[in-house]
Every structure is written in structure tokens, then in C-alpha cells.
């Protein structure tokens, strides 16, 4: 599975080749993904090569070939090219398409599950989130998760993320769990949140305010608490529920 930035870059290259027949330059890719240096583009291209999505043709300038696309990438989809778009963990509101049951991911409010009980709603599962060292959250709509209506309450938009890592085990959050997140851009100290660090990496942690700084606190003594300037951390949502399969 691809990270958010890998997905955006692959889609941008695919669209540019399809429109003009020529791959974009590194400067164009850097600008489209709002990265600060070309080294980040090199790393993304290498990762896409290793995963079999891109191929570099030797001894040719700007020679990139898209070998394949992710199964859920719409042929007509467009990449997120602005900072506000790139920072969203719920890009299915821009890149989504109706699924086989007729639900439309452009509406990211929970939808009632067809055939489920009166109190069940569908929440979009949009990727993975690290409960450990921060990683890039995926930006793809993967599936719908039926959630009891009482778990999400009455207000706000919600989404689901699959947890990877064990840094929140003492809070009852295990590797492989699915967490239900209510979209929010602020949180009280002590709440468990999806935090976006440096506009790039997302993690699931307990938020603590310490003066002008924000601490992202693990619930596992094997992991250290990470302290950031307040301007480096953006709240993307608050934990409201958890689903576990046995």
C-alpha cells in the first residue's frame, strides 16, 4: 500500500504523461507536492520503483514510466496540489468515486450501512495510522466500516483508521485495531488524537499541552514522549471509538 505522498506523486506523473506524453520535471513534482527539496522526490520515486509502480529508463532525461496504478485509483482522478489538500487525511472527499453499493465517498459523513440494523452507520476506512514512530497516513478510501450509531454520537464527520504499532497498548489500543475518529482541529489536553506533525507525518497519541509546546505521549513505557512546538502539530481528529476483530 502507498503512503499519501507516494500516491499523490504517482497520480501526478500518470496524469502529466497522459496529457502531454512527457513526464514532469523534478521541479514540477516538488511544486505539485509542496515539498521543500528534490531529495524528497527522489525518495518517493525510489519507493515507487521498489513497489513496482514506476520504472526509470536509463540514459534518458526525465524518463519515467508508470508500470501500474493502484486498484482503487480512478483513471480520471487528479492529485492534490495545494498545501491545504496535501494536509488532509480524508482526501476521498476530493479523489473519491461511488463504490459498488452506491455510496459516494465525496460525502465523508457517516452513511447508514445497507442491510445493517437501524442504528448502524458506515464510516469510511481511509488508511493506517501509526501508534508508534510517526509514519505517513495513507490517503486512499479502502472500505466502509459498519459502526454502532451510539459510538459516534450525533454530530461531526467521522473516519476510521487501522492502527499499526504498539505504543498505545496501555490505553487499550492494539496493533491491528480499527479506531474511529471524529474530525476536529483542536483537542483538550489528555485526549487521544490523530496528530499531523510538520504537515507530513501522522500519529495516534495522547496530547498534552506544556506551555508553548505540545507533547505527544505514548501509552507504552517502551516509547518516549515527543515534544514539539505548537506550530508543528495539527490536530486532525479525536478518538471516539475502537473496533477489534478476534
Q: Is the dihedral of CA 95, 52, 126, 40 positive or negative?
A: negative
For the chain, what is the radius of gyration of the CA atoms? 19
100 has catalytic annotation: no
Catalytic residue among 25, 39, 100, 167: 167
5 has catalytic annotation: no
Instruction: Give the number of C-alpha atoms closer than 13 A to the C-alpha of residue 199, restricted to the C-beta side.
Output: 11
Instruction: Give the number of C-alpha atoms closer than 13 A to the C-alpha of residue 20, restricted to the C-beta side.
Output: 7
Question: Buried b vs exposed e over 71-89: b needs ≥16 C-beta within 10 Å?
Answer: ebbeeebebbeeeebbbbb
User: Exposed, middle or buried by CB within 10 Å (0-12, 13-18, 19+), for 138?
Assistant: buried
Cβ neighbours for 95, distance < 8 A, ≥ 6 positions apart: 74, 77, 78, 80, 139, 141
Q: Where are the beta strands (DSSP E) in 8-105?
A: 54-56, 64-66
Catalytic residue among 30, 100, 117, 205: 205
Return the number of other C-beta atoms located less than 10 Å from residue 242's C-beta.
Answer: 17
Catalytic machinery residues:
167, 205
Amino acid at each position: 500500500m502507498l503512503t499519501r505522498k507516494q500516491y499523490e506523486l504517482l497520480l501526478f506523473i500518470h496524469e502529466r504523461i497522459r496529457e502531454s506524453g512527457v513526464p514532469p520535471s523534478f521541479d514540477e513534482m516538488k511544486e505539485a507536492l509542496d515539498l521543500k527539496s528534490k531529495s524528497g522526490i527522489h525518495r518517493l520515486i525510489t519507493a515507487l520503483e521498489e513497489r513496482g509502480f514506476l520504472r526509470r529508463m536509463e540514459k534518458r532525461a526525465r524518463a519515467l514510466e508508470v508500470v501500474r496504478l493502484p486498484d482503487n485509483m480512478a483513471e480520471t482522478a487528479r492529485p492534490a496540489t495545494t498545501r491545504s489538500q496535501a494536509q488532509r487525511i480524508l482526501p476521498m472527499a476530493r479523489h473519491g468515486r461511488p463504490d459498488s453499493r452506491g455510496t459516494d465517498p465525496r460525502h465523508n459523513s457517516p452513511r447508514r450501512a445497507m442491510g445493517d440494523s437501524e442504528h448502524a452507520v458506515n464510516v469510511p476506512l481511509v488508511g493506517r495510522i501509526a501508534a508508534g514512530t510517526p509514519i505517513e497516513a495513507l490517503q486512499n478510501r479502502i472500505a466502509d466500516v459498519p459502526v454502532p450509531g451510539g459510538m459516534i454520537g450525533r454530530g461531526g464527520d467521522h473516519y476510521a483508521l487501522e492502527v499499526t504499532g504498539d505504543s498505545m497498548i496501555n490505553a487499550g489500543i492494539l496493533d491491528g485495531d480499527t479506531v474511529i475518529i471524529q474530525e476536529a482541529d483542536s483537542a483538550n489536553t489528555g485526549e487521544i488524537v490523530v496528530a499531523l506533525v510538520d504537515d507530513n507525518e501522522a500519529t495516534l497519541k495522547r496530547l498534552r499541552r506544556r506551555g508553548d509546546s505540545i507533547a505527544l505521549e505514548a501509552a507504552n513505557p517502551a516509547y518516549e514522549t515527543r515534544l514539539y512546538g505548537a506550530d508543528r502539530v495539527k490536530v486532525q481528529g479525536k478518538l471516539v471509538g475502537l473496533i477489534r476483530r478476534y
